């Protein structure tokens, strides 16, 4: 199992001009670690992180789109995997941080903590899936993952984060969306 903060710190060191889509607990951690214009935060959209990422990937095929999804969030919109597999954007990487809980809602356990998300993604039509549970393995594989064609689905086994109250106000400021639009207008 990986610590999410350490995992996100590794990701930060490899990010260049990719669009990173995240929501809830992972988003609050990501904004603290790597606050940048090319971050897209799914506002009040539990379960829709991957759908927002798909829209960005289709609209901006010249940029990689990395979705940092949660297992509880993905369960709320599991049908998105079939849509993603059929749309097959080559610039799409779907990372699911699996901690077995609805962390943003108080850490309530998901119904089946043994869900094989890679198996579901594979049977939905994803050709590339990875299961990573060690930080050293993530760090070793990440450069190749960022270069390969998608869509790719990567389950990251993480520990549950702190259940302290989180503020989402900072990530939803209109200035952030404006900065993202300006950055996308520049091109890749």
Beta bridge partners of 20: 39, 66
DSSP assignment of 105-137 equals GT-EEPS-TT--HHHHHHHHT-SEEEEE--HHH
pLDDT digits (tens, 9 = 90+) for 109-140: 567 667 899 999 999 999 999 999 999 999 99
**pTM for this model (two decimals):** 0.91
Q: Which domains does the chain have, with CATH numbers?
A: 4-186 (3.40.50.970)
Count Cβ atoms below 10 Å from residue 91 Cβ, excluding itself: 20
Span between the terminal Cα atoms of the chain, in Å = 34
Q: Are 61 and 91 in contact (CB under 8 A)?
A: yes
pLDDT digits (tens, 9 = 90+) for 49-81: 999 999 999 999 999 999 999 898 898 899 999
């Amino acid at each position: 199992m990986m610590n999410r903060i350490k995992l996100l710190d590794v990701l930060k060191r490899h990010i260049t001009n990719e669009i990173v889509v995240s929501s809830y607990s992972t988003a609050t951690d990501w904004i603290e670690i790597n606050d940048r214009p090319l971050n897209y935060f799914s506002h009040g959209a539990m379960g829709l992180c991957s759908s927002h990422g798909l829209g960005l990937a289709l609209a901006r095929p010249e940029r990689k789109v990395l979705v940092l999804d949660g297992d509880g969030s993905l369960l709320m919109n599991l049908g998105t995997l079939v849509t993603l597999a059929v749309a097959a954007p080559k610039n799409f990487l779907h990372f699911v941080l699996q901690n077995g809980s609805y962390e943003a809602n108080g850490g309530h356990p998901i119904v089946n903590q043994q869900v094989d998300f890679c198996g579901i993604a594979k049977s939905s039509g994803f050709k590339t899936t990875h299961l990573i549970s060690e930080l050293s393995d993530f760090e070793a594989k990440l450069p190749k993952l960022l270069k390969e064609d998608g869509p790719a689905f990567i389950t990251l086994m993480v520990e549950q984060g702190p259940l302290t109250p989180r503020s989402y106000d900072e990530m939803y400021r209109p200035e952030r969306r404006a900065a993202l639009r300006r950055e996308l207008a520049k091109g890749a």
